[in-house]
């Protein structure tokens, strides 16, 4: 059961409904949920047991995370995009916004697609770092510092340029 001191503050009714759904999925009974006061903007709202049932039914028909993602209002999505643009990682965005991680992950996927970004996983970065060290050794360079993805990719591009010009 949610604690009495826990505050539920949201910008939109959809966000509050998602919290209701989360409470239902966590096993909180409808009567307990109906006692929670949700602050939506400057208004306070309690959901009745029948409203809670309708919310559960509404989202159970939309089992795809993409359908849930479309429930983000434009202001919330814009705020999420701003976080991503400022390179705040997805986990920190979940913590800051208190939105469902699936919603935020879907928003991040959309953001990367729209901004033409590419994600490089850690295994590929480790592989590239290993190859960069081998190139450093082969060409007699001091081993570079390859700690961040940017450093790894920039160094790899530098080697590509160098090797291209050596032909």
What are 42-89's pLDDT values in tens digits? 899 999 999 999 988 887 754 444 344 446 788 889 999 999 999 898
pLDDT at 48: 94
Look at residues 120, 152, 122, 116 and name the one whose alpha carbon lies nearest to residue 160. Answer: 152
| 119's tokens | 């994600």
What percent of the chain shows pLDDT beyond 90? 31
Residue 27 near residue 105, CB atoms below 8 Å = no
Look at residues 135, 143, 145, 73 and name the one whose alpha carbon lies nearest to residue 103. Answer: 73
Helix segments in 64-148, DSSP class H:
65-69, 74-85, 90-97, 101-114, 122-139
pLDDT at 32: 92
Measured in whole angstroms, how far is the alpha carbon of residue 37 from the centre of its chain? 27
Q: Mean pLDDT throughout 38-44?
A: 90
Residue 26's contacts (CB-CB under 8 Å, 6 or more residues apart) are none
Residue 93 near residue 83, CB atoms below 8 Å = yes
How far apart, in whole angstroms, are the C-alpha atoms of residue 137 and residue 163?
A: 15
Q: Residue 44: is it exposed, middle or buried by C-beta count within 10 angstroms (0-12/13-18/19+)?
A: exposed
pLDDT at 68: 45
Query: Could you tell me the residue ranges of all domains in the chain?
Result: 1-61, 64-118, 122-165
What confidence tens digit (pLDDT) does each residue in 150-165 have?
888 888 888 998 888 8
What confidence tens digit (pLDDT) does each residue in 2-12 have?
655 567 888 88
| Mean of pLDDT over the chain | 84
């Amino acid at each position: 059961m949610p604690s009495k001191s826990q505050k539920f503050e949201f910008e939109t009714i959809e966000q509050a409904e998602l919290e209701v759904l989360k409470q239902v999925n966590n096993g909180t009974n409808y009567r307990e949920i109906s006692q929670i006061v949700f602050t939506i903007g400057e208004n306070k709202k309690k959901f009745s047991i029948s409203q809670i049932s309708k919310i559960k039914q509404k989202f159970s028909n939309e089992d795809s995370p993409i359908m849930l993602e479309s429930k983000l209002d434009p202001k919330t999505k814009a705020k999420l995009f701003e976080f991503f643009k400022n390179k705040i990682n997805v986990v920190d965005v979940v913590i800051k916004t208190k939105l469902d991680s699936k919603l935020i992950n879907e928003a991040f996927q959309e953001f990367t697609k729209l901004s033409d970004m590419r994600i490089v996983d850690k295994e590929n970065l480790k592989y590239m770092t290993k190859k960069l060290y081998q190139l450093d050794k082969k060409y007699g360079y001091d081993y570079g510092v390859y700690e961040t993805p940017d450093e790894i990719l920039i160094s790899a591009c530098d080697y590509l340029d160098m090797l291209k010009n050596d032909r």
